[in-house]
Chain A
């Protein structure tokens, strides 16, 4: 966070936690507040009414906030009235405006990835776009890393480096000296207004209760980031991965992991913040009056995923596991970046503890 120029600094302020709480609750007048509830690595994003409900010390969630709220697990995209013979699609946007509070850098990067999937190609998905435009993202730099995190390897964390695509960035930079709040300490947050939307909103609500950050605050942030970077336990040669994986598609590490441990349960895909695959199915009402086209999260680990007439291109389990590993660590041509943000969820929620970085490391040896 060094090398900040003056104009950027105007949009930064240090707020004590109680002021941040008041400001966020004021924001609740415009947006449905959604934040992390329950701490540790199994927190969950849910709608909240009070700041105190949130645990901003959380480390990870099972379902990533971006995918959960921007790309819903089941969604009706089309409805056909059989007697009238007319289609309806929408309405967009489905639901209220939402503010996602405390989204970690990996998950913000995952949202930027989903943006590329659903908005950047020749066709933009209207449902995703409507939700995305209605979502106010308040990112939160990490203050600790878990043993499974590897965001530092792909530039997705632990401090957020993206300069657009979200609205506000929070960083906890210590505690207010001498201030007691409900028996606890009153933490201080560096608040950075990143988007125009955020800057306009904060015109209405003055930041007078905060203080201008000084050079020492930025230095402190840099020190905290450097310390965090040292605490990562996972390491992988990301430069070498690309050439190693594609040249060894039938490597024994992949086959042995798949054959001995993979259950094809699709947990890895469901919790992955960048996995976007979905199935589309038509459902007709019992009355035969209406037919709905529904899309639902789908997984490449499912045996019928790549089935076509006359064959299945990924009938073998290791081929399906390979598709997941390669899509995350290779295939940069697809969207110009790797498919992983290093959140570690696929490792944490795998019932048999399959670790894609371990597979990749074995394949590179």
Chain B
């Protein structure tokens, strides 16, 4: 049997955690707050950074790569709670299983893996965050550390399918009041759409706090933007097709591919650069990414960006 000492040596052995909170964010989307209880976390010499991910799962079911939506303590984040969080949408076998977890249940993870958002590059510049759907989750830690990043300014543009699908409503309202970040929201289907009506219940208070929610694709919010290409850094996270059009709109405004960062999603098995599933051209999404600059991805096959 393996002891804790030997477990530290193996990248194959997951760390045990207990779920300390479950929060419903939107239909099918939940945030799990985790407290690691056994094993070495984070791995020696590795600090959790925004944009990194853990391989989250349960033995017998499998693992799925999920980005941090809340960083563990002891980091540049001002949060001092003893927990870290992952926001998960039910999509496949593993995430479907994780959705059934309740408070005090056990869960296992390995990580953190990957390179995160290059937040230091945004120092002194305007940080433009463009997110779609669940893509807001990996950027939530960036927004929360924004006041300490020495930014010239920050803008968050978020798009969702319906108003009911907007995650982190309380946080969005808080960020709006905090004033560190300007917020623009858009939905594909406007509130009151006949088929989506049920999901839009209880949104009145949110709309009052957040202001106008536009209707249309995320690019509707990007096009009117006035940006100084040399003094702007963009972090984009969302479905790949949305990241394609968002990054192209920014390039049309004069931004270079090196200043536009996207978080890629690929099938992953190991998280450590060995299994090969997540390769995008010469890159491994797990260890060279998941955050890439558009310049790194330009011209590679099997990429929509």
Interface residues of A (CB under 8 A from B): 77-78, 80-82, 84-90, 117-118, 121-123, 125-126, 246-247, 249, 276-282, 284, 291, 293, 295, 298, 300, 305-311, 313-314, 319, 322-323, 326-327, 330-334
Asked if residues A90 and B60 are in contact (CB atoms below 8 Å), the reply is: no
Of all chain A residues, the one with the shortest Cβ separation from B39 is A87
Interface-lining segment among B5-13, B70-78, B156-164, B216-224? B5-13
Specify which of A123, A278, A307 is in contact with B269 (CB 8 Å cutoff).
A278
Those 6 A-B pairs whose CB atoms lie nearest each other, nearest first? A277-B276, A80-B59, A291-B60, A331-B282, A123-B272, A309-B91
Considering the chains assembled together, what is the distance between the CA atoms of A179 and B265 in angstroms?
A: 66
A-facing residues in B1-27 (Cβ within 8 Å): 1-2, 6-7, 9-14, 16
With contact pairs A87-B2, A122-B273, A313-B302 given, residues A308 and B267 touching in the complex (Cβ less than 8 Å): yes
With contact pairs A117-B274, A276-B276, A308-B265 given, residues A87 and B9 touching in the complex (Cβ less than 8 Å): no
Which chain B residues lie closer than 8 Å to A121 at the CB level? 272-274, 287
Of all chain B residues, the one with the shortest Cβ separation from A247 is B299
Which chain A residues lie closer than 8 Å to B91 at the CB level? 309-310
Of all chain A residues, the one with the shortest Cβ separation from B64 is A309
Pick 6 A–B contacts, CB within 8 A, sort by A: A82-B60, A86-B1, A89-B10, A123-B11, A123-B274, A308-B265
Which chain A residues lie closer than 8 Å to B275 at the CB level? 277-280, 295, 298
Specify which of B61, B92, B266 is in contact with A313 (CB 8 Å cutoff).
B266
Q: Distance (Å) between the CB of B224 and the closest chain A CB?
A: 29
Asked if residues B60 and A333 are in contact (CB atoms below 8 Å), the reply is: no
Q: Distance (Å) between the CB of A255 and the closest chain B CB?
A: 12
Interface residues on B, range: 35 or more
Of all chain B residues, the one with the shortest Cβ separation from A245 is B301
Which chain A residues lie closer than 8 Å to B269 at the CB level? 278-280, 295
Asked if residues B270 and A280 are in contact (CB atoms below 8 Å), the reply is: yes
Of all chain A residues, the one with the shortest Cβ separation from B11 is A123
Considering the chains assembled together, what is the distance between the CA atoms of A127 and B60 in angstroms?
A: 21
- Say yes or no: is B211 at the interface (Cβ < 8 Å to chain A): no
Which chain B residues lie closer than 8 Å to A118 at the CB level? 274
Asked if residues B279 and A327 are in contact (CB atoms below 8 Å), the reply is: yes
With contact pairs A121-B287, A306-B302, A308-B266 given, residues A87 and B11 touching in the complex (Cβ less than 8 Å): no
Which chain A residues lie closer than 8 Å to B190 at the CB level? none
Interface residues of B (CB under 8 A from A): 1-2, 6-7, 9-14, 16, 59-63, 91-92, 106, 239-240, 265-267, 269-270, 272-277, 279, 281-284, 287, 299-303
Asked if residues B2 and A88 are in contact (CB atoms below 8 Å), the reply is: yes
Of all chain A residues, the one with the shortest Cβ separation from B275 is A278
Q: 4 more A-B contacts (CB under 8 A) besides A87-B13, A126-B10?
A: A78-B59, A85-B106, A277-B276, A308-B266
Which chain B residues lie closer than 8 Å to A281 at the CB level? 62
Specify which of A78, A81, A282, A291 is in contact with B12 (CB 8 Å cutoff).
A78
Q: Distance (Å) between the CB of A279 and the closest chain B CB?
A: 6
Asked if residues B12 and A276 are in contact (CB atoms below 8 Å), the reply is: no
Considering the chains assembled together, what is the distance between the CA atoms of A77 and B277 in angstroms?
A: 18
Which chain B residues lie closer than 8 Å to A117 at the CB level? 273-274
Q: Distance (Å) between the CB of A335 and the closest chain B CB?
A: 9
Which chain A residues lie closer than 8 Å to B12 at the CB level? 77-78, 89, 126, 293
With contact pairs A78-B13, A90-B2, A291-B59 given, residues A277 and B277 touching in the complex (Cβ less than 8 Å): yes
Asked if residues A284 and B302 are in contact (CB atoms below 8 Å), the reply is: no
Of all chain B residues, the one with the shortest Cβ separation from A125 is B274
Which chain A residues lie closer than 8 Å to B284 at the CB level? 334
Asked if residues A282 and B60 are in contact (CB atoms below 8 Å), the reply is: yes
Q: Distance (Å) between the CB of A218 and the closest chain B CB?
A: 39
Which chain A residues lie closer than 8 Å to B302 at the CB level? 306, 313-314, 319, 322-323
Asked if residues A89 and B277 are in contact (CB atoms below 8 Å), the reply is: no
Find the residue from B10, B59, B273, B287 having the highest chain A CB count within 10 A: B59
Considering the chains assembled together, what is the distance between the CA atoms of A276 and B284 in angstroms?
A: 13
Considering the chains assembled together, what is the distance between the CA atoms of A123 and B11 in angstroms?
A: 7
Asked if residues A284 and B7 are in contact (CB atoms below 8 Å), the reply is: no
Of all chain B residues, the one with the shortest Cβ separation from A312 is B267
Asked if residues A333 and B14 are in contact (CB atoms below 8 Å), the reply is: no
Which chain B residues lie closer than 8 Å to A308 at the CB level? 265-267
